């Protein structure tokens, strides 16, 4: 029983870190996009588009 509890705690931690990383990356890209030069802004928009495509490919499994 104790092993299962540790596995659950680790899984919750991994999922929490994944959610934090996803949203913090989005926030950093948004902040940089407003200050960036046109070429960098286009590159950041491409990155966001790729993130959104990956999200759509999951078909909303987690979000």
* Residues 10, 56: Cα–Cα separation, whole Å: 27
The encoded tokens of residue 58 equal 């999951």
pTM above threshold 0.85:
no
Tell whether 12 is covered by a domain: no
Does 27 map to a domain? yes
Could you tell me where the DSSP H helices lie in 36-62?
38-57
- Full residue range of the structural domain in which residue 43 is found: 23-52
Establish if 42 belongs to a structural domain: yes
Q: How confident is the model at residue 8 (pLDDT cuts 50, 70, 90)?
A: very high
Dihedral pair phi/psi, residue 30, rounded to 5°: -60, -40
Q: Which is more confidently placed, 13 or 59?
A: 13
Structure tokens at 7: 């596995």
The reply to whether 35 falls in a domain is: yes
């Amino acid at each position: 029983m104790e092993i299962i509890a540790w596995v659950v705690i680790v899984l919750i931690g991994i999922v929490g870190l994944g959610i934090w990383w996803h949203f913090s990356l989005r926030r950093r890209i948004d902040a940089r996009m407003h200050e960036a030069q046109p070429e960098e802004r286009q590159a950041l928009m491409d990155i966001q588009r790729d993130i959104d495509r990956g999200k759509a490919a999951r078909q909303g499994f987690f979000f």
